[in-house]
Amino acid sequence: MTSTWLFPAADEDARQAILRAAYDALCEHGYADLSTQHIADASSKSKSLIYHHYDDKDDLLLDLLDHLLDRFQQETRVDAEDPREHVEAVLDAVLAVDLPPERRAFTRAMVSLRAQAAYDDAYREHFQRHDAVVRDGLRDAVEAGRRTGAFRDVDPDRVASFVVTAIGGAMTARVTGDEDAVPAVREELQRYVEACLVAA
Amino acid sequence: MTSTWLFPAADEDARQAILRAAYDALCEHGYADLSTQHIADASSKSKSLIYHHYDDKDDLLLDLLDHLLDRFQQETRVDAEDPREHVEAVLDAVLAVDLPPERRAFTRAMVSLRAQAAYDDAYREHFQRHDAVVRDGLRDAVEAGRRTGAFRDVDPDRVASFVVTAIGGAMTARVTGDEDAVPAVREELQRYVEACLVAA
Question: For residue A178, what pLDDT is reported?
Answer: 87
Per-residue pLDDT for A7 more than 60? yes
Q: Could you tell me which residues come within 8 angstroms of residue A124 by beta carbon, excluding any fewer than 6 positions away?
A: A117, A118, B176, B177
Rounded to 10 degrees, what is the CA torsion of B119, A29, B109, A177? -10
B6–chain A Cβ distance below 8 A for any pair: no
pTM above 0.95, yes or no: no
Binding-face residues of A in 85-114 toward B, CB within 8 A: 108, 111-112, 114
B172–chain A Cβ distance below 8 A for any pair: yes
Contacts of B115 in chain A (CB under 8 A): 30-32, 111-112, 114-115, 176
Question: For residue B5, what pLDDT is reported?
Answer: 79
Q: What value does the mean pLDDT take over residues A69-86? A: 90
Contacts of A169 in chain B (CB under 8 A): 165-170, 172
| H or E element at residue B173 | helix B156-175
A51–chain B Cβ distance below 8 A for any pair: no
A193–chain B Cβ distance below 8 A for any pair: no
Closest to B176 in 3D by CA, of A131, A166, A171: A131
Q: For every one of its 200 residues, what pLDDT tens digit does chain B have, with 9 covering 90 and above? A: 556 778 877 667 888 999 999 999 999 999 999 999 999 999 888 899 999 999 999 999 999 999 999 998 888 888 889 999 999 999 999 999 888 999 999 999 999 999 999 999 999 999 999 899 889 999 999 999 999 999 999 999 999 999 999 999 999 999 998 888 999 999 999 999 999 999 98
Question: For residue A104, what pLDDT is reported?
Answer: 93
Contacts of B166 in chain A (CB under 8 A): 162, 165-166, 169, 185
ipTM score for this prediction: 0.93
Question: For residue A10, what pLDDT is reported?
Answer: 66
Question: For residue A2, what pLDDT is reported?
Answer: 58
Per-residue pLDDT for A11 more than 80? no
Tell me whether residues A115 and B188 touch, CB distance under 8 A: no
Question: What secondary structure letter does DSSP report for A118?
Answer: T
User: How far is residue A183's CA from residue A194's CA, in Å, rounded to a whole number?
Assistant: 17
Closest to B140 in 3D by CA, of B163, B124, B168: B163
User: How far is residue B167's CA from residue A41's CA, in Å, rounded to a whole number?
Assistant: 39
